[in-house]
Structure 1
Amino acid sequence: MRALLVDRSTPSGLRLGETADPEPTPHQALIRVIATSLNFGEVTHAISQAPDGTVLGWDAAGVVERAAADGSGPAAGTPVLTLGDAGGWAEFRAVDTGLLGLAPADTDPGALSTLPVTGTSALRALRRIGSLPGRRVLITGATGGVGQYAVQLARLGGAHVIASTGAPDTHGDRLRALGADEVVPGPEHAGALVDAVVDCVGGPQLVRAFERLAPHGTLVAVGDVTLQPVRFPPGAFLGNDGRHGRSIVTFHLQDGPLPGPDLTWLADRLAAKDLVSQISWRGSLNQVDEAIAAVLGRSLHGKAVLDLTA
């Protein structure tokens, strides 16, 4: 099968080549991949750490080529979206049936491939906050893949959404169209205190976001794109200003139940147009160097998608 193979002799660390088809275990379905999307974490870290010849890729969407031998999961021919530690950057992928979601027929596989990591992360981060209706929720890094889905899902949940972006004049209209009630250039501009924060930035911005939390508010730390130290001022956690009970919650996508039902729910929302997919760049496997350069250059506000049928 064709696949993107780790090859650190190339500028991007990948080359398009041939490798053996995966052999599914009894509880895995064999998926014919139609589209896959790139994540900042796998491009910046996974490629440099994997042995040459490895097939990486967390996100992929396609069709079940062969159902799981143990009878779990969908039948052959079913459209699906999938999540895994590797294997998504290839024509075929073996996936545990608990790590795939069902997709409505005729839904764009490229759009579906943007959901597994970013959509599920946004959904599960918001769940850590609890009830959303009427609450003020700040999303930092709102133009990123997780951030844009978090804005949409928070609005669907009934929250008052404040989207933080470094370029509000450039991205404000799009973020408002996605559901943001306010667009600000940083957490410190959020105005009134917020009940919750989904932080997709980390570093000093996480500290500034924590400062905007109301009593008993929660900050969910989803991402760290700055890789800068996080330094809180003395007394930040004493509550001497009367804002008691504030908390910071760490986040990991694989913490919790298997994501299959979440993937199905997200795919249904996408098909119903309750969610808008986050595709900022799209091309074929042959254009992977261009896609990776765009991801590393931080020029994308959304996801890069590779179509395997192109």
Structure 2
Amino acid sequence: MRALVVDPGAEGRFADVPEPVPGPGQALVEVHRTSINFSELRHMGRLPEGTVLGYDAAGVVLRAAADGTGPAEGTRVAAFGAGAWAERAAFDTGSIAAVPDGVDLAVAAAVPMSGLSALRSLRAAGASPGSRVLVTGASGSVGRLAVQLARLAGAHVIASVSTPERARTLPPSVTAPPVEVAAGRDGVAPVDVVIEVVGGETLVAAWGLLKPGGNLQSVGWASGRPAVFPPGSTFSLGPARSLNSFGDVTSPGPDLTFLLDLVATGRLSVEIGHRESWERLKQAAAAQLDRTITGKIVLDIAPADHAPS
């Protein structure tokens, strides 16, 4: 079968690779749609040459798991797991969720990594009704979902973006009251929770806005710049503040089901900024790295007329 694999010095290359052989607790999925995540492009060179790329997938179950777990053959599913940029992939049944009727597979493919990162970091930070939650990089895929999920949790949300121009790219689904949009951190009052995806100076500034007892979840480092904390900036009186790394991808299936149900009922909006054949990965990757597109980039692996989206 065809797959996109690691090619040192490039965004990936097509290769013929062996068909996946599912284990007893895995389903074989025909992948119709996948999406690109910024971190995948930035770090793909760290993987061994020939590794099948990608983590977000949506498609149809070709063969149900031999142990009887997971969805039946023919079920439309979304999945999170390594090897998603391929015509077929084997996923643990605990990493798969059925896609509700009415949810396009292109939308479902845009949910896994971004949605799980947003949902689980908010949960880990203790976002709750009445808490003040700062989301940095709110114009990005994780940020947009984190703002919406924090609002659904009853929090007062501050959506932080780098410039007024970035603020204007935010759709109404993100900026709906009571969300407060801030270009930069000037004038932002102290917060209980930070979902931080930018790194560098933004991480340092966000730490300075954290109330005693508050929690900062470091989800990403899109800036690529170092974070330099001034002497004494990690000390404060009162209950301890905490900064946590975030990267929990264990057993994502139930949370993926929860997120897709929110999408199906209109409570969570997933914006697709660009949709392209996977044959044009190079162009799509350049747009992602240059940040010229807002919203998720979705790749079609199966042709549009291969099966209903």
* Cα pair 1:136 1:161 within 8 Å, conserved: yes
Match of 1:305 in 2: 298
Q: Counterpart amino acid of 2:4?
A: L
Q: What's 1:79 paired with?
A: 76
How far off is 1:175 after superposition? Answer: 5.0
Kindly indicate whether residue 237 of structure 2 is the aligned counterpart of residue 235 of structure 1. no
Aligned to 2:306: none
Listed as ranges, the matches of 1:35-114 within 5 Å are 35-46=33-44, 48-84=45-81, 86-114=82-110
Query: Does the CA contact (< 8 Å) of 2:127 and 2:150 recur in 1?
Result: no
* Contact 1:82 1:101 (C-alpha < 8 Å) held by counterparts: yes
Q: 1:243 to 1:182 in 2, by over 3 A?
A: farther
1: CA distance between counterparts of 2:227 and 2:38?
A: 21
Whole-Å separation in 2 of the counterparts to 1:284 and 1:269: 27
Residue aligning to 2:24: 26
Displacement after TM superposition at 1:158 (Å) = 0.7
Change (3 A) 1:269 1:18: same
Find the counterpart in structure 1 of residue 307 from structure 2: none
Q: Unpaired runs of 5+ in structure 1?
A: none
Question: 2-side partners of 1:302 and 1:81: how far apart?
Answer: 18
Shift of the alpha carbon at 1:170?
4.3
> Which whole-Å CA distance do the structure 1 matches of 2:18 and 2:247 have between them?
31
| SS of equivalent residue, structure 2 residue 31 | strand
Separation (CA, whole Å) in 2 of partners of 1:217 and 1:17: 47
Map of 1:1-310 to 2, 5 A cutoff? 1-8=1-8, 12-46=10-44, 48-84=45-81, 86-172=82-168, 174-179=170-175, 181-190=179-188, 192-239=189-236, 242=237, 244-254=239-249, 257-310=250-303
Q: Deviation at 1:78?
A: 1.1
Q: RMSD value over aligned CA atoms?
A: 1.8
Deviation sequence 1:75-94 (CA, Å, 0-9, x none):
1011111111x210111110
Residue type of the alignment partner of 1:111:
V
SS in 1 for 2:274: strand
Cα pair 1:188 1:212 within 8 Å, conserved: no
Q: Taking structure 2 as the reference length, what is the TM-score of the superposition?
A: 0.91
Give the alignment's TM-score, normalised by structure 1.
0.91
Distance (whole Å) between structure 1 residues aligned to residue 281 and residue 226 of structure 2: 32
3-state secondary structure, aligned to 1:281: strand
Judge conservation of contact 2:139–2:169 (CA < 8 Å) in 1.
no
Deviations 1:208-240 (A, max 9, x none): 01111122111111111223222222222221x
Distance 1:165 1:67, change over 3 A: same
Taking the aligned partners of 1:175 and 1:37, their CA distance within structure 2 comes to 20
Counterpart residue identity of residue 50, structure 1: L
Deviation at 1:107, TM superposition (A): 1.4
Q: For residue 283 of structure 2, what is the amino acid of its counterpart? A: E
Alpha-carbon deviation of 1:182? 1.1
- State the SS of the aligned residue for 1:174: coil
Amino acid at match of 2:186: E
Structure 1 window deviating more from structure 2 (109-118 vs 227-236): it is 227-236
Identity of aligned residues (%): 47
* Secondary structure, aligned partner of 2:186: helix
How far the C-alpha of 1:32 sits from its partner, in A, is 0.8
Unaligned runs of 5+ in 2: 304-309
Compute the displacement of 1:2 (Å): 2.6
Checking the alignment, whether the CA contact within 8 Å between 2:28 and 2:61 is kept in structure 1 is yes
Counterpart CA distance in 1 for 2:83 and 2:59 is 13
Paired residue type of 2:160: S
Q: In the aligned structure 1, how far is the partner of 2:105 from the partner of 2:199?
A: 31
Change over 3 Å in CA distance of 1:170–1:63 after alignment to 2: same
8 A contact 1:124–1:253 mirrored in 2: yes
